[in-house]
Every structure is written in C-alpha cells, then in structure tokens.
Amino acid sequence: MRSTLRNYLRAGFPLVYLTSWEEVRVESDLKSVCAELGFSLHSWSVTEGLLDVATGAARDVQDPIEILSAVLEMPEKTVVLLRDYHAFLGDDAQPVNPLIARTIRDLSRVMKTRQQCLVICAPILRLPQELEREVVVIEHELPGRPDLGAVLDGIAESAGLPAALDEERDRLLDACLGMTTSEAENALALSFVETGGLDPQVVARQKAEAVRKGQLLELHENPGSLDEVGGLDLLKGWLLQRRDAFSRRARDYGLPTPKGLLMVGLPGCGKSLTAKATAAAWERPLLRLDCGRLFGGLVGESERNLRRVIQVAEAVSPCVLWVDEIEKGLSGSQSSSSTDGGTSARVLGSMLSWMEEKTASVFVIATANDVSALPPELLRKGRFDETFFVDLPGEEERAAILAIHLKKRDRDPAAFDLKALAKASEQFSGAELEAAVVAGMFAAFEAGQQLESSHVGEAIQATVPLARTARERIQGLRDWAKSRARPASGEC
Ligand SMILES: Nc1ncnc2c1ncn2[C@@H]1O[C@H](COP(=O)(O)OP(=O)(O)OP(=O)(O)O)[C@@H](O)[C@H]1O
Ligand SMILES: [Mg+2]
C-alpha cells in the first residue's frame, strides 16, 4: 500500500479512498509516507475534530462540510486523513448530500494545484456515482509477516514472555495471517490469558472466528485425511504428487504453482470429502467459500465480497480454497443479465481472471454436480490445472469404501465378506455405502447382536441406489466427461 500511496501523492492525486479496518496501521503507513515526501499530516473524525498529527494541535471542527473547507486554509503539501467519512457519502437508501459532493469536486481541482490530498479511510467502500471519477481507491491489504511479527513481539514483551523464535515464531505467524493487526493482537492476548503462553492453536481458533464473521468463508480445522477416501486412485495420486508444490524446493526446481482443480461428478461419491482431505494431506489450511452467498449478493456488494475473499485467501496462503458446488452460485450466470443485472456473470469473470493471474499460493478446488449449469469459460484451459470426473465407485472401490466406514466405527473390516458386499452393491455411491453400514449397525443393535456381513448385506438389499433412478442423467454426465475430464479412478 505504501508504494501506491507514495505514487499517488507524488503525482498530485487530490482524493484517495482507502478501505481498511485498520486505522492505526493506515495512519502509521500514512505517517511514514508523508514524512518521506515532506507532507504534513492531519487527521479528522467527528469525535476528535481536526488534529495536526505532528504537533497534536486540535481544532474543533465537527461538521463534515466545514472540514472540507478547512483544507483550503492549510498549507501546501498537506494530507488530511478523514476517518469514517463514508458515513457522509450516502448509501443505497439515501443519496449523498449534494453540497458535500459538489464541495469535494470543487476542492479537488484546487487541491491538485496545491499538492493537498484527502484520504478517506473507512472499512467499506461507499462511493457515490458523482465522485467515482474523482477518487482513486486503494484496498489496504491485510498485514503480512513483518507487521504481524511486530505485533507478536509487542505482545510477548508486554506479557513478559521470551520472544518467539524460529519454528514457533513461524507457526504463530502462520496462525495470525489473514487477520488484521488488531485481531491478531487480541487473539495473541487471549492465548496468553487462556494458556499463560502464546499458543498457535488458540490464535488459529480466533482466526477461524474472524474469518467466519465475514459470512463467506469458513476455516475448517479438522478436514479429514486422504486415507479416508476410498478408491479415486488417479485423483489421489495427482493430488499427492502436488503436495509439496507450494514449497520453495518446488519453486527452485522450476515447477509452476498449481492453480486449482475442478471435480465434477455424481452426488455422494466423495468430491467434498476429497476436497477436505487434500488440505490435510498438503498440511495447508482449508477455506470453504459459500458460493450462494458470494454470487447472490446485491450489485456491487458481490464484487466487494469477492475482493475480500481473495484478500483473506491470499493472506492465509499457501492454502486450499474450496469452492463447493460452484454451479449452485452460478446457476443462470449465462443468462444472469436478465435476472440479476449480470452480477453473477461479472463476479465469475473477476474470479476467473484472478485464478488465471494469481501468483499467491492459493489452490482452488471447485466441485460441481450439474455440468449443464457450468458456464463454458469456467472450463477453458488455464483456469484449472485439471478437471476430474468422479464416477460411481467400481467393485474394488466399493470394498475399500465399506472397509473405511467399518473401521471408522471400530469394526475390523477383515471380519466382513467385503467382496460379496461389494458385488451386491452395484451402482451404490460412497454415501449410500456408508448409509448401508450405519443401517446394518442399527439392525444388529436392535437384535442384540454384533455387526456382521449379513446385517450390512440386508441393508444393501433394501436400498435402491439413486443411480438406478437417475440413469439418464448419469449417462449424460459420463458422455460430457469423456471428452472434457480425466477419470478420477482407474477402475471404472
Ligand atoms: N470415495 C469415498 N470414500 C469414503 N467415503 C465416501 C466416499 N464417497 C462418499 N463417501 C461418504 O459419503 C459422504 C458424502 O460424500 P461427499 O460429501 O464427499 O459427496 P459429494 O461427491 O461431495 O456429493 P455431492 O455432489 O452430493 O456434494 C462422505 O462424507 C463419506 O462419508
Ligand atoms: Mg459435496
């Protein structure tokens, strides 16, 4: 942010809008840039009035128009930081006060010649159309390791703890990435109160909360393991081959950073399961994006939401960003101009260009059931590294899936006739196999017996798998996948 701001000030931009939750960090960045360029810095808020940051001299100006005029009395080369000025710029319900809009536009011409600049700092971007062309917007990125390191050292010092070093420091900073400095400060302080030390787990838990507050992303803590995914050998092999792809070693070797993976397939066959397990196998955090919320927002809001998602994902990177059931959010994006003014199509466009251009180590795993709802641009080369088709499990895979679910419930798979059960469960999905194990357990429990093959076998007999009733849809999906996707399993 500093370099962008420096350039804007040097180029004589009179109006800058900075979106950030972190006034303190913004002010300290502004201070150092102003000092470097020989600008004086003032700050203003409704509660504090106008303050000369260097001398502390205050002037009692509360009126949002008066503060604008006050700028003209200030010397050349001055920056005025306006805190929360978005409150005076109108919103969807209420237009901006025309006097404010006009004054800002008049001022901007004069300020340009005097090398003065108004910097609006607010947590959200609220820019009336009248001012769109006058103002440049900077998004203050979330703090990186050096900033968070300073917070960490500050907390350690005030708590009387030795400074965290090496690996411990790395783990604490990893846990802090994705939070604002004040969130990180609070999380570290809480960890000290709870444990008497600085514990990355407590910090990570706080981060999960902070991320969830945005309502779009969720940080999964225990995402499972690839060993819990039965079958899908080709897909799992592909994923395991890339487990160290974000490492420095891989970069030095000349490997490109993986972009992402699209999994298309039948319901209940392990797509979500695999997405979660990938993050665990790669030992990276897993962020789950709620597509419906992202694409379903109001015009303007959706774009802003996407920027925030990207910001958090990049701050937490290397990480896995899981976009589950992407078609749900996109349904109708091709024709969305008629339904939502083109919002979801536009947001998808921004997301795709981010995916194509991104340099941060964010691996996107998208899953989809219904390919007819997927816009063709999503499938174009360069977006995802690979598209995998997840079909119903073959016979051997079914045996492996049954074994996994028996083991999960503390039963020894060797005591079951997995071969016969797998044979009897043709066209079953993984989810249906799991359900049969559970149903078998209920039957055995009710009869006061230990679970045996026969219980599971009966449950299988009693089930009509979805695939039998959805034959046409499945065939359609297979035909689609033949030319567009790689099979996730070598067995089918
Ligand atoms: N290959 C598999 N190995 C082990 N368990 C499986 C497998 N496939 C499915 N399951 C079981 O079924 C549950 C549902 O699977 P999952 O949510 O991954 O399906 P999905 O492909 O994402 O389906 P949908 O398209 O409906 O979202 C899993 O939590 C898991 O318990
Ligand atoms: Mg799923």
String of DSSP letters for 156-193: HHHTTPPPP-HHHHHHHHHHHTTS-HHHHHHHHHHHHH
**pLDDT of 333 higher than 60:** no
Judge if 332 and 433 occupy the same domain. no
For 237-246, write each residue's pLDDT tens digit: 999 999 888 8
Judge if 190 and 261 occupy the same domain. no
- The owner of tokens 């502004």 is 30
Mean pLDDT within 459-486: 91
Which residue minimizes the CA distance to atom 30 of ligand 1?
Answer: 431
Residue 369 lies in a domain: yes
Mean pLDDT within 247-275: 91
Judge if 323 and 237 occupy the same domain. yes
Question: Where a domain ends, among 95, 113, 139?
Answer: 139
Residue 490 lies in a domain: no
Say what the pLDDT of residue 299 is. Answer: 58
For 163-222, write each residue's pLDDT tens digit: 777 778 888 998 888 888 888 999 999 999 998 888 888 888 888 788 777 778 888 876
Whole-number Å distance, alpha carbon 366 to ligand 1 midpoint, is 15
For the CA of 390, the nearest ligand? 1
Question: Where a domain ends, among 183, 211, 239?
Answer: 211
Residue 416 lies in a domain: yes
For the CA of 431, the nearest ligand? 1
Whole-number Å distance, alpha carbon 343 to ligand 1 midpoint, is 31
Mean pLDDT within 86-90: 88
Judge if 232 and 373 occupy the same domain. yes
Cα 296 to Cα 41: distance, rounded to the nearest angstrom? 41
Judge if 321 and 368 occupy the same domain. yes
Residue 474 lies in a domain: no
Judge if 295 and 159 occupy the same domain. no
Crossing angle of helices 181-195/200-213, nearest 10°?
140
Residue 274 lies in a domain: yes
Say what the pLDDT of residue 331 is. Answer: 60
Evaluate: CB of 371 within 6 angstroms of ligand 1. Answer: no
Evaluate: CB of 368 within 6 angstroms of ligand 1. Answer: no
Say what the pLDDT of residue 296 is. Answer: 65
- CA-wise closest residue to 72 among 96, 97, 42: 42
Which of 233, 272, 432, 492 to mutate for ligand 1's pocket (most ligand atoms within 8 Å of CB)?
272
Q: Which atom of ligand 1 is nearest to the CA of 325?
A: 27
CATH code assigned at 19: 3.40.50.300
Q: Which atom of ligand 1 is nearest to the CA of 390?
A: 21
Which of 239, 262, 273 to mutate for ligand 1's pocket (most ligand atoms within 8 Å of CB)?
273
Q: How many CB atoms lie within 10 A of CB 460?
A: 26
Cα 207 to Cα 287: distance, rounded to the nearest angstrom? 11
Q: String of b and e for 91-102 (b: at least 16 CB within 10 Å)? A: eeeeebeeebbe
Question: Where a domain ends, among 139, 169, 200?
Answer: 139
For the CA of 403, the nearest ligand? 1
Whole-number Å distance, alpha carbon 267 to ligand 1 midpoint, is 7
Judge if 171 and 239 occupy the same domain. no
Residue 478 lies in a domain: no
Residue 248 lies in a domain: yes
Whole-number Å distance, alpha carbon 320 to ligand 2 midpoint, is 16
Evaluate: CB of 321 within 6 angstroms of ligand 1. Answer: no
Which residues share a beta bridge with 217?
289
Evaluate: CB of 444 within 6 angstroms of ligand 1. Answer: no
Whole-number Å distance, alpha carbon 274 to ligand 2 midpoint, is 9
What is the span of the domain harbouring residue 204?
A: 145-211
Say what the pLDDT of residue 341 is. Answer: 61
Flag the least confident range among 36-40, 80-84, 91-95, 300-304: 300-304
Judge if 321 and 274 occupy the same domain. yes
Flag the least confident range among 226-230, 270-274, 370-374: 370-374
Judge if 281 and 345 occupy the same domain. yes
Q: Which two tokens stand for residue 149?
A: 């390191």
Q: Which atom of ligand 1 is nearest to the CA of 231?
A: 1
Cα 482 to Cα 4: distance, rounded to the nearest angstrom? 48
Evaluate: CB of 404 within 6 angstroms of ligand 1. Answer: yes
Judge if 320 and 459 occupy the same domain. no
Judge if 367 and 453 occupy the same domain. no
Residue 485 lies in a domain: no
Judge if 182 and 292 occupy the same domain. no
Number of domains in the chain: 4
- The owner of tokens 């419930």 is 409
For the CA of 231, the nearest ligand? 1
For 437-447, write each residue's pLDDT tens digit: 999 999 999 99
DSSP, collapsed to helix, strand or coil, labels residue 64 as coil
CATH code assigned at 400: 1.10.8.60
Evaluate: CB of 231 within 6 angstroms of ligand 1. Answer: yes
